[in-house]
Homo-oligomer: A and B are copies of this chain.
Amino acid sequence: MTRGRKQATSYADKARLPAKARANPPAVILVEPQLGENIGTTARAMMNCGLTDLRLVDPKEDWLSEKALGASSGAEKILEKARRTATVEEAIADLEIVYATTARRRELVKTVMTARAASADMRARSEGGQRLGLLFGRERIGLTNHELGLANIVIEVPMNPEHSSLNLAQAVLVVGYEWFQAGYDGPEAVTTYNRTKPVTKELLQELFDHLESELILCGFLRHDAKRPSMIVNIRNMLQRAELTLQEVRTLHGMIKELRYGRRPDRPKRQPGYKSDKA
């Protein structure tokens, strides 16, 4: 199997490219997949994870059937570019390191990694320019020991030991997901805002002052002895909410309306809060 991918001419050439550009994703090799639909859902999972190179060893159904194309929901390109080979040896001929997934341990001397550890290993090798492959076995019986012997590393996905079997596309998704995460460098947690922004402590303090003065006037904070601890608790609760500017404005309005509503003692003019100008 020859492939048209352009090789960098030297290590120095590759080193000039940023790591992301150098990363060449692993090929996915399915051994004797039985159902066209499973090839389609595998293509979809690959597309989700940024994998594009699909190789099919002696597939038992057409991977361009309507059923297969339908199951790929948007990943038709991967199916159209997929290559068929007669043997695993032919499918992996141009690769340097092959990872095989398997559900059960064999009588073989092998390095076994979790999907996460294998993905870190794959990213490092891929960025170093190595050509990688992920070998997935038949739907029911997996890989033979002969086929496993062609792989460098075995991947075992830690799952509920009482129910660990994944279907073909799910196995591809989990390993592909880990491959994608190993290259993800975005934030792990962010707070999204609409057109508003988090409030400053100064404007939050102004809200506390407004609320507490009205709570004293209306009688809620009438007990001098309890007042300090009640104020701490109220402030703490509002701190925890990480309010935005817009929400602080809304709360000022709510306090005023709750306190005065349409009653005749409602102040003619609302005091001007800094938050109204911020």
Contacts and interface: CB of A to CB of B under 8 A. Distances in A.
A258 interface: no
B177 A111 contact: no
Contacts of A191: 109-112
Nearest to A246: B109
Interface stretch (A79-87, A123-131, A156-164): A156-164
A188 B178 CA distance: 13
A189 B49 contact: no
A11 interface: no
A218 interface: no
Interface size classification for chain A: 35 or more
A164 B184 CA distance: 14
A112 B173 contact: no
B194 A181 contact: no
A50 interface: yes
Interface string A127-158: 00000000000000000000000000010011
Given A160-B180, A170-B45, A170-B173, A188 B114 contact: yes
A84 to B, nearest CB: 24
Most buried by B among A49, A105, A112: A112
Contacts of A244: 109
A112 B113 CA distance: 30
A192 interface: yes
Contacts of A184: 114, 158
Interface of A: 45, 47-50, 74-75, 105-114, 116-117, 154, 157-160, 163-166, 170, 173-174, 177, 180-181, 184, 186, 188-196, 244, 247
26 contacts: A47-B160, A47-B163, A48-B160, A48-B163, A48-B165, A48-B170, A49-B159, A106-B192, A108-B192, A108-B194, A109-B193, A109-B194, A109-B196, A109-B247, A112-B191, A114-B188, A114-B189, A116-B188, A117-B188, A117-B189, A154-B192, A157-B177, A158-B186, A170-B170, A170-B173, A177-B177
Given A107-B195, A111-B190, 5 more contacts: A49-B160, A105-B192, A112-B189, A160-B180, A166-B173
